[in-house]
Structure 1
Amino acid sequence: MDMQSVGDAFIRPGQVLTDRSALSAASRWTQAVSEADGVCVIHLSPGADPCEVTAELREEGMQASPNHVFRGQPLFFGGPASRPFPCPPIPYKPGRTRSDVVIGLLDTGVAKHPWWSRSDWYERLGPDDADATEGAQAGHGTFIAGLLARLAPGAALRVDRVLDGDGFTDEATVVRALHRMRDQPPDVLNLSFGGHTFDDRPPPLLSDAVAALSGTVTVACAGNTASDRPFWPAALACAVGVAALDDSQERRAPYSGHGTWVDACARGEWLASSYLECGEFEGFATWSGTSFATALVAGAIAGAAGDEPPKEVVARLLDAEGARQIPDLGVVVPASL
């Protein structure tokens, strides 16, 4: 994916994300516009800086943002747990009980797997929602789907592939996918990707798109940044931001993002789940990262949402009297797999 660095944030060069109301105001910088699912991407004229254009449009009261680049957050920058490792088959037999709970999964897609090969939700997936087979994050979505399936048995997944095989996407792609969910919003939404913004402010169109799913509990990863810099969309007020604990579930995993904007935490190291059948992998792997801590929290919420509305579940989870909390990591969510 073509991108440029602005500080520790990444953006698509020469692109500004906005809605139709800003097109006239942006015309003096515009070379072309691409529009889909209620989102406009302005392709700027040569020499126009996306961050400067964004600042000017915001001063005029417009919704605008550089088209930020986001990436999935398995641990990938080094260390003994920085990639998936093959593991023996995990004993798990999907139950026959069906739940009315729907979990949205925006990720690399989901591959065929024995755990859900006969599930109604998997049979409805199109070829564009199949997991990537090549790239550093191929299998990321399938791994997360397995964690969700075990914690919320009987729940249906609504899959939309927004990440490529290396785990990259951009803000426009994510906002468009969120807009497509508005007619039939999921109960719980798992977003195991994100990134910084050029100015550390919430990206307005992404924020509005998440907030518009008012009945949905959106759960997003705090990132593998080892810093307290806000990581989006996890830092949005309308999202549950999730950090990773080490395998003792007593301390922050050293790579995990943290800060006052984090709401919850769960184990993120050496988790085992479903994976691709390729090379040395026979459909199962162990992997680490805030991506997977997020799936544990989303799965715990979805698993309890069969008995009460998901918004009530998350309120009880985050405000429970006597719940263990860790400063800058939020409420500890234990998850048994």
Structure 2
Amino acid sequence: MEIQSVGEAFIRPGQVLADRTALAAAARWTQAVSEADGVCVLHLSPGVDPCEVTTELREQGLRASPNHVLRGQPLWFGGPASRPFPAPPVGFKPGRSRSGVVVGLLDTGVAKHPWWSGTDWYARLGPDEADASEGSQAGHGTFIAGVLARRAPGAALRVHRVLDGDGIGDEAAIVRTLYRMRDNPPQVLNLSFGGHTFDDRPPPLLADAIGALTETVTVACAGNTASDRPFWPAALPYVVGVGAVDSCRQDRAPYSGHGTWVDACAQGDWLTSSYLDAGEFGGYAAWSGTSFATPLVAGAIADAAREEPAREWIRRVLDSDETRQIPDLGVLFAASL
């Protein structure tokens, strides 16, 4: 599907997201509407600018947004994601104990791996949740699943594939997935993707969908932008935005997003985790990025949730005067892999 660049934001050309209250007001620009799972995608007539339509609808007090494109955040070097590097096997045995905690993982999917062989949560996955086998970010979700498994032993993963093999997804698909999670929400939700918006304002339908998960702690990456420009959904006030520190866990990794909207940070450089068993890889890789700092924080929250509600625990940690802070990155989670 086509992608249009608007400044440093990316959108699906000719598409606007809205709820049903905006349909009548947008009718004169709209060629077709597709509605599912709480969100309407307005397919605009040729030549109509989705950013201009969004602005006019918002001036009328309606909730609307271009269909922003969001991307996974492994380390970028001005182009496609840097490749992961093969790593030797890691001697991790998940054990048989279950914590009762569920972590939602929206990403590229999860591939078969010895670390979760025989687990109930992996046995429930269907073919639509399998990790992409090709693309610059194939294995992204599998890598993150391994970080979560090691950081929160016994937690079950609930996997939804919302990104393709190049780590690309759009706001409409993600909002619809979040909408379907409302009836049975996880305690923790890991979102290792994001993007800028065309006007640097929060995307309202994505914000609504995350905000509706009132008992879930949502953790999202701050992006590999090396800037303080808000990166969504991490910059939402009720999301734990996670930046990356270097391998010494002393300073901000040079690529990490940063600013007052970042709540926490963890090591993002040279983490080793599960990966695809293909080509030069034997199921393990080393990779860098705020994508992978995020599950270190999400996993810590999930591990703590065995003993107390996740929202209470993370609120206390973030508000404590005793936790170490990194300027413009928030509370440091010092654990590594």
- Same fold (TM > 0.5): yes
Aligned mates of 1:228, 1:78 — CA distance in 2: 17
Partner SS state of residue 24, structure 1 = helix
Superposition TM-score, scaled by structure 1 size: 0.98
Residue 88 of structure 1 corresponds to which residue in structure 2?
Answer: 88
Aligned to 1:147: 147
CA contact (8 A) 1:76 1:83 kept: no
* Per-residue deviation, residues 101-137 of structure 1 (Å, max 9, x unmatched): 0000000000000000110000000100000000000
Which residue of structure 1 aligns with residue 36 of structure 2?
36
Corresponding residue SS for 2:261:
coil
Match of 1:210 in 2: 210
Deviations 1:4-47 (A, max 9, x none): 11111000000000111111110000000111111100000112
Q: What letter corresponds to residue 30 of structure 1 in structure 2?
A: T
Deviates most, 21-30 or 69-78: 69-78
Identify the residue that residue 291 of structure 1 maps to in structure 2.
Answer: 291
TM-superposed CA distance for 1:82, in Å, is: 2.9
8 Å Cα contact 1:65/1:204 also seen in 2? yes
Deviation of the 1:320 alpha carbon = 2.4
Indicate conservation of the 8 Å contact 1:162/1:174, yes or no.
yes
Please name the residue that 1:242 is paired with. Answer: 242
- 1:6-21 equivalence runs, <5 A: 6-21=6-21
Q: Distance in 2 between matches of 1:18 and 1:51?
A: 13
Give the secondary structure class of the aligned counterpart of 1:26: helix
Give a deviation string over 1:56-113, Cα, whole Å, max 9, x none.
101111110000000000013269x932000100010111111110000000000000
Match of 2:183 in 1: 183
The residue that corresponds to 1:224 in the other structure is 224
The 2-side partners of 1:306 and 1:89 are apart by 28
Find the residue that maps to 2:114 and give its secondary structure. Answer: coil
CA distance in structure 2 between the partners assigned to 1:232 and 1:320 by the alignment? 25
Q: CA deviation digits over 1:261-300, x for unaligned, max 9? A: 0000000000000000000000000000000000100001
- Cα distance in 1 between the residues matched to 2:12 and 2:182: 26
Residues 151-170 of structure 1 correspond to what in structure 2 (within 5 A)?
A: 151-170=151-170
Is the Cα contact below 8 Å between 2:267 and 2:336 reproduced in 1? no
In the aligned structure 2, how far is the partner of 1:321 from the partner of 1:199? 34
Shifted more, 292-301 versus 1-10: the winner is 1-10
Contact 2:247 2:270 (C-alpha < 8 Å) held by counterparts:
yes
CA distance in 2, matches of 1:175, 1:145: 21
Note the 1:1-337 alignment, pairs <5 A.
Answer: 1-77=1-77, 82-337=82-337
1:25 aligned counterpart, secondary structure: helix
Contact 1:266–1:332 (CA under 8 A) maintained in structure 2: yes
Q: Distance in 2 between matches of 1:76 and 1:281?
A: 20
* Mapped partners of 1:323, 1:77: distance in 2: 32
Q: Secondary structure at the match of 2:83?
A: coil
Which residue type is aligned with residue 211 of structure 1? Answer: G
Give secondary structure in 2 for the equivalent of 1:22.
helix
Distance of 2:335 and 2:131 partners within structure 1: 25
1:260 and 1:78 map into 2 onto residues whose CA distance is 25
Give the letter for the 2:200 counterpart: D
For residues 122 and 50 of structure 1, the distance between their equivalents in structure 2, rounded to whole angstroms, comes to: 40
Does the 8 A contact of 2:109 with 2:141 survive in 1? Answer: yes
Alpha-carbon distance, 1:314 to partner: 0.6
> Distance between the aligned counterparts of 2:99 and 2:305, measured in 1?
9
In structure 1, the gaps of 5 or more residues are none
Q: What is the CA deviation profile of residues 221-275 of structure 1, one whole-angstrom value per residue up to 9, with x for unaligned ones?
A: 0000000000000000110000000001000101000001000000000000000
CA contact (8 A) 2:188 2:216 kept: yes
Contact 1:106/1:161, CA 8 A, preserved across alignment:
yes
**Separation in 2, partners of 1:48, 1:78:** 30
Using the alignment, how far apart are the partners of 2:283 and 2:78 within structure 1? 23
Distance between the aligned counterparts of 1:302 and 1:70, measured in 2?
25
Q: Could you tell me whether the CA contact under 8 Å between 2:222 and 2:256 is conserved in 1?
A: yes
Number of matched pairs: 336
Letter in 1 for 2:288: S
**How far apart, in 2, do the equivalents of 1:313 and 1:165 lie?**
34
What SS class does the counterpart of residue 17 from structure 2 fall into? Answer: strand
